[in-house]
Chains A and B, each alone.
Chain A
């Protein structure tokens, strides 16, 4: 056998260096998560504007470390996996997913007394029924959005998008895209049912029938769809590449396309749709909760920040007076007509457990069909 170690001194040095290397990741992780000048934020792309981030870091000396998320379920699982000692200080939860996070003990109640700028949020959002659970507030609403019908204005006419029918039509076969999970709720609504499934909480059989009907409908229409997508960036890419001319989407990514001058528009069809509100929440047992509150208060400080958030994400700001700081095209991209808004209702969480136990397998069945 070859002689591997010729010098013990070398061996000890190497071993020490090796041990240090092995130990380093754990040390770095713990210090990164708990450094006093840090706040760890899990949020969606473009939710925290770059200019605000730079200014906040300069003014406070607190570094904002952003980890991008693109899915509520994924975020829930990651946070649950880290509980009870999360690396996140702030997470971004959609209002209708609150219950799930709260019942899993993943969020800390929000102490609004520590947020001097809380009153800058439009009460429509901050004081709505979904915002208070078990007598507590759980998050600061920052942006609102909706499931909308997006269309290429050079190909599809305004009259054609009055109904969700167009998304399933032969005319635009192979030129449409949607996210199946969200589309299930929209299809239930389109067929005249309660997509939130709150109406069927006492009738699980009826709920199962409705989900099966929506599932079968989407399987039947599968030959018409070009792509089931997951992320907002994907739908933007497909519109730009002209792979699609119609899509179910969230208003944020489409608003960005509109402000970039791409020939696309969005609408809420007559059958209606669902809206949602993104909130920033302090994680339970957050390592830097003081910094988290500093960041939240700074974000809520003035409507200009809200407008910046709208500009960078495309979603609608929840701040009072934020629209004053938007250009005409930005306002157009982040607003709907009265007629459209009449069909908008918010996602609700009460029946989520029953709903997603039915919807999740249905989604897999649609994919596999």
Chain B
């Protein structure tokens, strides 16, 4: 009833001060409009779906659409389409991955690198997040977070070049070590697994830090005080209270960092070396080479996506998060 009243109120004829009918007024008196709008706004559920349609369209067509298309291209024998040739369905692109160790090595290297970098990022950022959440005043917390956010206002490439400037033979680190008399010849940091690790950890640290900070900030201080009163030492308090209660943040942070690490392309290209080729570079190779290599690239991209989602799912299961994101 109330809804019908609202609809009737909406149909009041808007007019200008001079009494002339406005466009909206004319539209609302239109029978077709009235029939359509009454049907559309019959219930709140319909209103919800009308409002949700655009975001859902965006999610399915702009985000999932390209992934689905990439998955499909992986089953074609030729792409982009050639004039006068109908692409055929094939499993050869998927089979190729398992037939040559050339592809399997960078694939597992990528997963191993991502796993290691995720673990290191967690170890580095956990104390920082704890310090921010528990030992910094509310006002200063925002300031610190802002300072940590500032590098993220510039692009991935710019930050990668910053690492290059730091770690190059002529870079700041080598120059500092030289001026301190610690080295005579520059240490070749660049184009190694080390420089790649520094770059990836630097680029992904915030994705780990924010979920951790969010989880640790919610941790009630009186839990820790109660544990201390009962005689628990610092390590026991951390192991029995802080760590379990920040598990949610660890799971979120590790998931984000792992997924992002496996997908990085520009950073490994710029910072990695001959012995640290990652799978993203292998995939990119298929798209750079002229000819019918896109289907192979698409299949390999899909394999990487399935693998990373699988590993992430397994990790979340091990962390004890169920489908609703609740701690068991």
Contacts and interface: CB of A to CB of B under 8 A. Distances in A.
Contacts of A222: 274-275
A3 B288 contact: no
Contact of A5 (B47, B275, B290): B47
Given A80-B80, A241-B168, A8 B188 contact: no
A200 interface: no
Interface in A65-113: 71-74, 76-77, 80-81, 83-84, 97, 100, 104-105
B83 A7 contact: no
A242 interface: yes
B82 A104 contact: yes
Given A73-B290, A222-B274, A241 B24 contact: no
B48 to A, nearest CB: 6
A330 B259 CA distance: 48
Interface stretch (A119-127, A307-315, A360-368): A360-368
B112 to A, nearest CB: 14
Given A83-B80, A240-B170, A367 B282 contact: yes
Given A71-B288, A228-B274, A234-B270, A77 B10 contact: no
Contacts of B80: 77, 80-81, 83
Contacts of B106: 367-368
Interface residues of B, number: 48
Contact of A4 (B47, B285, B293): B47
Interface in B41-89: 41, 44-45, 47-48, 50-51, 54, 80, 82-83
A350 interface: no
Contact of A364 (B83, B103, B169, B294): B103
Interface in A230-273: 230, 234, 237, 240-243
A52 interface: no
A58 interface: no
A348 interface: no
B44 A100 contact: no
A22 B48 CA distance: 20
Given A5-B41, A81-B80, A104-B82, A242 B102 contact: no
A198 B5 CA distance: 84
Interface string B1-36: 000001000100010000000001001100000000
Contacts of B101: 368
Contacts of B290: 72-73, 76-77, 97, 100, 356
A77 B287 contact: yes
B250 interface: no
B188 A243 contact: yes
B281 interface: yes
B37 to A, nearest CB: 6
Interface string A184-197: 00000000000000
Nearest to A229: B269
A2 B83 CA distance: 53
B105 interface: yes
B41 A8 contact: yes
Nearest to A360: B289
A23 interface: no
A8 B269 contact: no
B291 A5 contact: no
B24 to A, nearest CB: 5
Interface in A1-30: 1-9, 11-12, 18, 22
A211 interface: no
A12 B23 CA distance: 12
Contact of A242 (B51, B103, B168): B168
Nearest to A362: B102
A146 B325 CA distance: 58
28 contacts: A4-B47, A4-B50, A4-B51, A5-B50, A8-B10, A9-B28, A12-B27, A71-B288, A74-B287, A84-B83, A104-B82, A174-B188, A222-B274, A222-B275, A226-B191, A227-B191, A240-B170, A241-B164, A241-B168, A241-B170, A243-B168, A243-B169, A364-B103, A365-B102, A367-B106, A367-B282, A368-B106, A368-B282
Given A226-B190, A226-B273, 5 more contacts: A83-B83, A222-B274, A227-B191, A368-B101, A368-B105
Closest 4 CB pairs of A and B: A241-B168, A76-B290, A73-B290, A81-B80
